[in-house]
């Protein structure tokens, strides 16, 4: 039986909780997963490419979570984030992580009759997890360690030695959509979905949502938060905005993209469609200053938000909007959609099989890339406020089943299955993970504490 007393988790990831290390959904996922494991009570070690100016090793969360900022000596030469100097960092990660994990964590744990679970993420960690497994086997300790490798996306799949990886780790992924893609490659992964922290289930301040709408005075308010990428449905979003405005329905799109060059093409297309585009910058770093910055721009139809949006702000935007356009054509999981649902918003997903989305029950599931489909559903919900309210209520209910605390129960079951196959456990049994009440609400992050920016998909 896996318990918080007999199991140690080791997480391997390129991205992590430092601003230097955040580039997308992986950083959000691995940060919240590590916090949730530690919050439940599991000793947890997170290895990631950290800020070169921060402490190399930092112990937080009542001593249960240890952050290991790796490759800092290389990152000093690459100040522009986790993926600058990527290949140099991968090589150093592969060489230095396996002996450290084995000598400093695994061997002492085994000597204390504890199980070690190593979870690795994305193609960057495949060589490291294979070396850990192979070196443990050479030292006669392989059966005492459970290893997983997780695919969040298809990036870098061409760089993976799949037969070798399958010999050394259980392969997992985050959704049925990804499982379908991988099965087409001859790989049949386990599905362990992403999650959200419990704190995102809290009530959104309705006064702030109402203030935003009162100041902008839109008939329809849309929000889109995603990287500027051709698969993210940006052109469809701006064209739907233009179509709604041509119907003399004042429609405003709150757009929060990334720094990708494709963004210039998207905003150019918006102007060509007759939309007034305005960049939005903030004078301060509080939610009030962010809202004030957005409030000032009451003439433009596309507000291009240029500042980083904290969770508190995004929850207000999601809740206040008539639709949050998570309309990607390739979306391995879709955290923005789930975060929208947790805020009581109406998520428009792109028909990529998000596990949590049920059309017209808790979300709008788009079937085409035609902007008219967005226009039609937005108009329908505007005319049927009772249906919109039903969707918002169902969305919040669905989100409760996708907290990290719930997802970890699935992870523990998968781990017990693997441990049983390796002879560590005689049979899989129900894990003894304490629920939120047993942990005590004092260990749950509040929105006033430091949190990551929510996902830019």
Could you tell me how many residues make up the chain? 457
37 or 334: which leads in pLDDT: 37
Is the CB of residue 304 less than 8 Å from the CB of residue 278?
yes
Say if residue 302's pLDDT is above 60: yes
pLDDT tens digit string along 93-119?
999 999 999 999 999 999 999 999 999
Q: For 272-292, what is the mean pLDDT?
A: 93
Q: Residue 234's closest CA among 422, 336, 369?
A: 369
Q: For 315-320, what is the mean pLDDT?
A: 97
Q: Which residue blocks in 190-320 are alpha helix, DSSP H?
A: 206-216, 234-246, 262-272, 287-296, 311-320
Burial class (CB in 10 A: 0-12, 13-18, 19+), 348: buried
* 265 Cα distance to chain centroid: 26
Q: Mean pLDDT in the chain? A: 91
Show the CA angle centred on residue 200, arms to residues 197 and 204, nearest 5°. 175
In this prediction, residue 339 has a pLDDT band, given cuts at 50, 70 and 90, of very high
Q: What CA–CA distance (Å, rounded) separates 136 from 128?
A: 12
Q: For 122-126, what is the mean pLDDT?
A: 97
Q: Are strands 57-60 and 65-70 parallel, antiparallel or unpaired?
A: antiparallel
pLDDT of residue 434: 53
pLDDT of residue 25: 82
pLDDT of residue 308: 85
> Which token pair is 171?
């392969």
Q: For 364-370, what is the mean pLDDT?
A: 96
> Which token pair is 10?
């080791």
Q: What CA–CA distance (Å, rounded) separates 364 from 200?
A: 21
Strand partners, 358: none
* 380 Cα distance to chain centroid: 30
In this prediction, residue 285 has a pLDDT band, given cuts at 50, 70 and 90, of confident
Neighbours of 282 (CB within 10 A): 21
Say if residue 123's pLDDT is above 70: yes
> Edge-to-edge strands of the sheet including 7-12?
57-60, 65-70, 44-49, 7-12, 115-121, 145-151, 170-173, 190-191
Q: What is the longest distance spanned by two Cα atoms in the chain?
A: 72
Distances (CA, A) of 146 to 119, 168, 416, 424: 9, 10, 9, 10
Q: What CA–CA distance (Å, rounded) separates 426 from 103?
A: 27
pLDDT of residue 258: 86
pLDDT tens digit string along 383-419?
999 999 999 999 999 999 999 999 999 999 999 999 9
Lowest mean pLDDT among 64-68, 277-281, 298-302, 366-370: 298-302
Is the CB of residue 445 less than 8 Å from the CB of residue 452?
no
Is the CB of residue 143 less than 8 Å from the CB of residue 422?
yes
Q: Residue 346's closest CA among 380, 306, 311?
A: 380
DSSP states of 356-391 as a string?
Answer: T--BTTTBEE--SS-HHHHHHHHHHHHH-HHHHHHH
> Which token pair is 34?
């590590």
Is the CB of residue 171 less than 8 Å from the CB of residue 119?
no
Q: Residue 273's closest CA among 284, 265, 281?
A: 265
Say if residue 449's pLDDT is above 90: no
pLDDT tens digit string along 217-268?
999 999 999 999 999 999 999 999 999 999 999 999 999 998 899 999 999 9
Q: What CA–CA distance (Å, rounded) separates 412 from 419?
A: 10
Reported as type and span, the H/E element at residue 176 is helix 176-183
Sign of CA dihedral 290, 295, 300, 301: positive
In this prediction, residue 284 has a pLDDT band, given cuts at 50, 70 and 90, of confident
- Helices 287-296, 206-216: axis angle to 10 degrees equals 20
pLDDT tens digit string along 434-446?
554 444 433 333 4
Say if residue 429's pLDDT is above 70: no
What residue ranges define each of the domains in the chain, with the CATH number in brackets?
7-197+403-443 (3.40.50.2000), 201-400 (3.40.50.2000)
| pTM for the whole structure | 0.86
């Amino acid at each position: 039986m896996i318990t918080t007393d007999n199991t140690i988790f080791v997480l391997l990831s390129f991205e992590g909780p430092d601003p230097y290390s955040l580039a997308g959904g992986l950083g959000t996922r691995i940060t919240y997963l590590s916090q949730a494991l530690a919050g439940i009570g599991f000793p947890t070690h997170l290895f990631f490419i950290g800020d070169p100016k921060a402490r190399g090793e930092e112990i937080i969360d009542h001593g249960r979570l240890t952050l290991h900022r790796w490759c800092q000596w290389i990152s000093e030469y690459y100040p522009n984030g986790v993926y600058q100097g990527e290949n140099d960092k991968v090589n150093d990660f592969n060489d230095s992580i396996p002996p450290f994990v084995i000598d400093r964590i695994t061997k002492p744990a085994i000597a204390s009759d504890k199980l070690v679970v190593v979870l690795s993420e994305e193609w960057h960690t495949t060589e490291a997890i294979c070396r850990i497994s192979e070196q443990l086997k050479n030292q006669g300790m392989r059966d005492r360690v459970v290893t997983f490798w997780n695919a969040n996306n298809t990036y870098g799949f061409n760089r993976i030695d799949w037969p070798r990886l399958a010999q050394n780790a259980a392969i997992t992924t985050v959704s049925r959509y990804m499982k379908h893609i991988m099965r087409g490659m001859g790989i049949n992964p386990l599905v362990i979905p992403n999650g959200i922290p419990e704190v995102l289930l809290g009530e959104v301040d309705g006064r702030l949502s109402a203030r935003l709408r009162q100041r902008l005075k839109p008939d329809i308010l849309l929000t889109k938060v995603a990287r500027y990428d051709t698969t993210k449905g940006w052109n469809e979003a701006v064209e739907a905005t233009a179509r709604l405005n041509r119907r003399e329905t004042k429609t405003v799109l709150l757009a929060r993209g990334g720094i990708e060059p494709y963004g210039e093409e998207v905003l150019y297309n918006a102007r060509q469609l007759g939309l007034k585009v305005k960049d939005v910058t903030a004078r301060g770093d509080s939610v009030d200053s962010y809202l004030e910055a957005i409030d000032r721009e009451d003439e433009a139809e596309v507000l291009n938000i240029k500042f980083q949006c904290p969770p508190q702000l995004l929850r207000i935007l999601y809740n206040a909007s008539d639709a949050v356009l998570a309309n990607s054509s390739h979306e391995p999981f879709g955290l923005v959609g789930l975060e929208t649902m947790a805020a009581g918003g109406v998520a428009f997903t792109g028909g990529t099989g998000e596990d949590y989305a049920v059309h017209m029950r808790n979300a709008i599931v788009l079937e085409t890339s035609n902007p008219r489909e967005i226009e039609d559903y937005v108009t329908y919900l505007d005319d049927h406020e009772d249906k919109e309210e039903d969707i918002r209520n169902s969305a919040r209910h669905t989100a409760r089943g996708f907290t990290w605390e719930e997802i970890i129960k699935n992870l523990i079951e998968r781990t017990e299955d693997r441990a049983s196959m390796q002879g560590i456990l005689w049979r899989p049994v129900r894990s003894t993970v304490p629920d939120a009440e047993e942990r005590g609400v004092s260990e749950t992050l509040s929105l006033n504490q430091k949190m990551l920016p929510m996902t830019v998909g």
